[in-house]
Structure 1
Amino acid sequence: MPPQPPPQPQVKQNILRFLRSFLGITRILQLVFGTGLWVTIAANKYEGSIHFVLFVAVLFWLLTLALFFLTLLNKQDLVPLLGGEHWLCANLTHDVAAAALYLAAIGVMIDKTKSNSYCIVHHYKHFCLYKVYLTASVFACLCCLTYLLAVVYGARRRHRGEKSVF
């Protein structure tokens, strides 16, 4: 039996195809905006309901990272119960849950931003978290938007009867 050529060209083509796909770009944006959100919060003093926002940001950043690499390396068949033909549905469920929890996180961030709006006056001299919360609110909105885009994309593919995520 003659030796078979290594599968590198096919793997490289799959990786490039995924990175250029709508879902690949969306996943990268989700990771970038999620990183921005949790780094913004974690780098500053936070308390109370901001813990929920940080939980949502880190949880979905880790889950999205896992989905990204499993899809990038075409290893979704290794995931029990959720892989293979269920991968599109698993991704869609993840995106719906992320969008819903990010909507709640946006509400928390907007409330915290409003509650700290007293310190935006020009002569206020004390430490104020208003700009931090405002920045985190923007990142939370961007995260939610990218997850909503992924929901629409996944739902459209599912409605067409397609089985793959890209």
Structure 2
Amino acid sequence: MPPQRPQAQVRGNMLKFLKSFLGIIRILQIAFGAGLWVTIAANKYEGPIHFVLFVAVLFWLLTLALFFLTLLEKQDLVPLLGGERWLSTNLAHDVAAAVLYLPAIGIMIFKTDRHSFCNLEQYTHYCLYKVYLTATVFACLSCLAYVLSLVYGAYRKCRAKKFEQ
């Protein structure tokens, strides 16, 4: 069998990452985060919803960056955060995302509950109940994806320390 060309090897590494647990969970984080901020941004919003939109867009962009850096195996090029610290960087990102998504979920639940009165068929005015409910579901799914990634990253970090000893 002839040796693999570097391009074929890179493509194989990309496919391997995309099929891995971390690759799949990052894709889900990107999809759920995009669903959240698009749902909110496409409709009228005010007050604390700005915080939810901030969290959704911030972590969507950061997750996108982490995803592509890992996919292209360019994490060594990131100053201070790459190389040997890449696992810790991913772990810190997931902790921050999970922690900030919790109040975002609380805000979305509160806003959904405040608009539950207009969920009646007889209500004829514009109602944001379904929008807020959809955004709440996306926020919960996003938080769950970050928590799963956090648990997986913590497990990998603990395993790495175990093998160092």
> Above 0.5 in TM-score?
yes
Work out the CA distance in 1 between the residues paired with 2:15 and 2:121: 50
Matched letter for residue 159 of structure 2: R
Query: Per the alignment, in what secondary structure is the counterpart of residue 145 of structure 1?
Result: helix
**Count, aligned residues:** 159
Q: Does 1:85 align with 2:90?
A: no
Gaps of 5+ in 2: none
1:26 maps to 25
Query: Per the alignment, in what secondary structure is the counterpart of residue 160 of structure 2?
Result: coil
Where does structure 1 differ by over 2 angstroms across 4 or more consecutive aligned residues?
Answer: none
Work out the CA distance in 1 between the residues paired with 2:106 and 2:37: 16
Gaps of 5+ in 1: none
Matched letter for residue 47 of structure 1: E
2:75 maps to 76
Moved more, 140-149 or 116-125: 116-125
Work out the CA distance in 2 between the residues paired with 1:61 and 1:122: 35
1:47 maps to 46
Matched letter for residue 141 of structure 2: L
Q: Which digits, 9 at most, give the CA deviation of each residue in 1:75-99, with x for residues without a partner? A: 0000001000000000000001001
Matched letter for residue 155 of structure 2: R
Query: Per the alignment, in what secondary structure is the counterpart of residue 99 of structure 2?
Result: helix
Matched letter for residue 45 of structure 2: Y
Matched letter for residue 64 of structure 1: T
1:94 maps to 93
1:140 maps to 139
Aligned-residue RMSD, C-alpha: 1.3
Identity over aligned pairs, percent: 73
1:120 maps to 119
1:66 maps to 65
Deviation (angstroms), 1:9: 1.4
Matched letter for residue 157 of structure 1: R
Q: Does 1:56 align with 2:55?
A: yes
- Normalized per residue, the structure richer in helix is 2
- TM-score normalized by structure 1? 0.93
1:129 maps to 128
Deviation (angstroms), 1:13: 1.2
